[in-house]
Structures are given as C-alpha cells and as structure tokens.
C-alpha cells in the first residue's frame, strides 16, 4: 500500500490531519470527481437527462457494494443514510406480542429508541444481553437467551462509536442460524474499516453509511438483505420504486432489495458510493484492516504512556476508534485545541449509548484511517 500515493489522491490530506474517520472520512479523488462530475452534468443538461446518460455508473453501485460485502447485487439497496437503511429493514419485521428483541449494552441509542417504539406498539420486549468483562457481547449469555425461545430478532452494532471494541459478529451469526433467529447488524463503523463478508458473518440484514470509513459521499447509505428472507419483509414506506402499480386496489412489491428504496434519491451520491466501494475493494480490505488497526494500536500505546491520559477502549480486539480522556481538560477543549492545529478529532456523546453502564460522560475520540501517518499521530500527541 503506497501511502504517499493514497494521500496525494486525497486532497484533504494537504489541509488537515484528519483523525475523525468514524465521523466522516476524507473522500479520495475518484469519489470527488464522480460526484462533482454528475452534479455538473445535471446543471448542464438537466437532472433526468443526466441520470439517463449515467445509467451505467448508477447501476454499478449495486455490483460494487455487493462485491465488497460478498453479497449478490439483488440483495443491495441504496438508501439516503444508514439510519434510514436500518429503519427500513427493522420496521419491516413483523413483530408480535411477546416477541423478544435481544441487543447489547453498547447499542446505539438511535436503534434503541426504535426498539422501544416497537415494543410499545407491538407488545415486544427489549432485552439487553450481558457483556464479557472486556465489554464485548457475551456469547454464552446470548446462547442462553436464545435457548429460552420467543426471540424474534438479535440486533447489534459491529463496532460501537464510543469505546473502540469489535463485537463478535460472526460468532453471533452462527448462534442465530442455529436457533433460526433473524440477525440485524449495524455495520456503520466496520464497512471500509474491517473485512466484512455477509456470508461469513451470517447476518440476515446489514446497514451501513457511505461517509465514514468507506470514504463515500455524505447523505448516502445502503442496506443488505439476504435473498432468502426478502419476501418476508414489507417495508414501512412504498412508492413506484419499491412496488409496481397493478390495479386501483393492488400493487406488487419488487422481488429484490430495491423494495427498500424510494424513487427520488441523491443520484450523484449513489454513483460516488459505488466508486468508493470499488476504491476500497481495489486496495483490498485485508490490507486496509491491517493498516487501520496497526495505526490505532500505535496511537493507544503512545497515549497510554502520556501522564494524565487515560485510554478508555475496551474489547479483546480493539478497532481503529481510539477513545481517551485528559486529566483536567474537558474533551471539548481538547478537540478545540486540536482544531487550532488543523488536527480533526471528535467527542463522544453519552446519550448515544444509553444502555452502556460503562459509558463516560464524554471522551475524546480519534479514529484513524489507512491514509493517516505517524507524523499525524504525533501532531495529535503534541496537542496534549
């Protein structure tokens, strides 16, 4: 992996040390050109006409994302963001009174709010599976809960946004398959960060965003739904993209994952997201994962050696997200000081992880990507 070449392909690298990739990564030149090129074409010939001319790169999105995930193109939907992608699948599940939804202490509160809403409306129950001491989901506890029955869904995040751990997604998949239970994986922080193969993981549904580690445009997301369960899920919102009009009293849903789409969309974003998926695949996700985890491990080691700095990350196998506190300094103040030196970091929000008993009021979050360098890590350390 030629880091100098990759950085020259990323205009933002000349401006900032961007260590906020768990928020929104810097896009590479091919993604920028694809999005800007289509938008310019729209301004020159019209939006509908531009979409007709760019039918091939629009369609390429499905093949590109499917290839990155080890899925089939008909199992992929383009959605305007990861939250809506997740929602479209979750609210399509036919919950009933007494159904159990199992999740983790590290679950994102946006998802947890949806669980609570469905529980109140349908009579389902939301249950938080205990952790291992390192903060990852306890597989023994999950298996015990699955054995009790009435579990309609296991839903969890692959990588939480606030504590650096990686949940055992594939092991969860094997347990869910053994018990015949639906498995929804929020992969917002893992796609483009780790090698993610839906067959290996065994998830039925996966949602992700374009703007984070995948380095795609903001305002883009996608949904994977396993072909074998597609017909069992009726999306909460339908239009002429999701279904065909048949008669004044009838319609027919699409057979593929595009039943979760709407006709109107960010066309330039869809093209750009496809380019981002191809870009990541071209570099090789195994190489990306190795580089990201290596940089993060180096940063943790350096931070832990600094007096007054406490590294908060959990999990047996930490991710590229590094969280820490600095004695006597509010995280927001550390972020502001870093920004003055053109170093981008972020601050965690405790309200985003309401189930987590270990969540700190807030923490500094640095999230590395393969285009970051040791010199950029040193720039962050110099802030401290």
pLDDT higher than 80, residue 358: no
Q: 167 to each of 99, 109, 134, 138, 187, how far by Cα in Å?
A: 24, 17, 11, 9, 11
Find tokens 């509010």 and name the residue: 330
- How far apart are the C-alpha atoms of 215 and 276, rounded to whole Å? 6
Whether the pLDDT of residue 87 is over 80: the answer is: yes
Encode pLDDT of 176-222 as tens digits: 999 999 999 999 999 999 999 999 999 999 999 999 999 999 999 99
Residue that has been written with the tokens 């193109």 in this structure:
73
Residue 81: Cβ within 10 Å count = 20
3-state secondary structure (DSSP) of residue 345: coil
Residues 303-352: tens digit of each pLDDT: 999 999 999 999 989 999 999 999 999 999 999 999 999 999 999 988 78
Per the CB < 8 A criterion, the answer to whether 255 and 283 are in contact is: no
User: What does DSSP say about strands 205-209 and 221-225: parallel, antiparallel, or unpaired?
Assistant: antiparallel
Whether the Cβ atoms of residue 369 and residue 344 lie closer than 8 Å to each other: no
With H, G, I as helix, E, B as strand and everything else as coil, classify residue 104.
strand
Q: What is the pTM of this model?
A: 0.96
Q: Could you tell me how far CA 274 lies from the centroid of its own chain?
A: 16
- Work out the percent of the chain whose per-residue pLDDT is above 70: 100
Domain ranges of the chain: 3-27+285-383, 34-282
Residues near 40 by beta carbon (within 8 Å), at least 6 away in sequence: none
Annotation: CATH topology of 3-27+285-383 = 3.90.1150
**Distance (Å) of CA 231 to CA 92, 99, 151, 252, 256:** 11, 20, 20, 11, 9
Structure tokens at 234: 């009726």
Q: Report the sign of the C-alpha dihedral through residues 112, 226, 83, 161, in that order.
A: positive
How does residue 356 score in pLDDT terms, banded at 50, 70 and 90? confident
Spatial CB neighbours of 316, under 8 Å, sequence gap ≥ 6: 132, 134, 136
Out of 3.30.70.1450, 3.40.50.1360, 1.10.10.10, 3.40.640.10, the CATH code matching 34-282 is 3.40.640.10
Query: Residues 370, 292: contact at Cβ < 8 Å?
Result: yes
Angle, alpha carbons 193-311-367 (nearest 5°):
25
């Amino acid at each position: 992996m030629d880091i100098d070449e990759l950085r020259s392909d990323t205009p933002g690298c000349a401006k900032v040390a961007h260590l906020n990739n768990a928020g929104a990564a810097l896009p590479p030149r091919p993604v920028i050109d694809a999005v800007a090129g289509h938008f310019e074409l729209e301004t020159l010939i019209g939006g509908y006409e531009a979409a007709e001319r760019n039918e091939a790169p629009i369609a390429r999105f499905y093949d590109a994302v499917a290839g990155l995930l080890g899925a089939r193109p008909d199992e992929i939907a383009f959605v305007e963001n990861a939250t809506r992608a997740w929602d479209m699948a979750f609210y399509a599940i036919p919950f009933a009174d007494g159904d159990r939804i199992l999740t983790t202490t590290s679950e994102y509160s946006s998802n947890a709010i949806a669980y609570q809403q469905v529980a109140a409306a349908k009579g389902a129950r939301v249950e938080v599976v205990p952790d291992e001491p390192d903060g990852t989901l306890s597989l023994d506890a999950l298996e015990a809960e699955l054995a009790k029955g009435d579990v309609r869904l296991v839903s969890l995040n692959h990588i939480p946004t606030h504590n650096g751990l990686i949940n055992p997604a594939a092991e969860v998949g094997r347990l869910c398959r053994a018990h015949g239970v639906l498995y929804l994986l929020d992969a917002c922080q893992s796609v483009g960060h780790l090698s993610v193969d839906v067959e290996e993981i065994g998830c039925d549904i996966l949602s992700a965003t374009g703007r984070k580690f995948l380095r795609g445009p903001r305002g883009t997301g996608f949904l994977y739904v396993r072909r074998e369960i597609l017909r069992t899920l009726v999306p909460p919102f339908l239009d002429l993209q999701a279904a065909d009009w048949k008669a004044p009293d009838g319609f027919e849903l699409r057979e593929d994952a595009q039943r979760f789409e709407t006709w109107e969309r960010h066309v330039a974003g869809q093209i750009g997201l496809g380019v981002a998926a191809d870009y990541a695949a071209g570099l090789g996700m195994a190489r990306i994962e190795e580089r990201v985890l290596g940089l993060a491990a180096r940063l943790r080691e350096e931070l832990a050696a600094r007096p007054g700095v406490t590294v908060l990350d959990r999990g047996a196998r930490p991710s590229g997200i590094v969280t820490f506190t600095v004695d006597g300094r509010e995280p927001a103040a550390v972020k502001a000081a870093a920004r003055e030196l053109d170093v981008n970091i972020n601050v965690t929000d405790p309200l985003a992880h309401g189930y987590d008993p270990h969540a700190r009021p807030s923490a500094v979050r640095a999230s590395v990507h393969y285009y970051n360098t040791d010199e950029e890590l040193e720039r962050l350390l110099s802030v401290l």
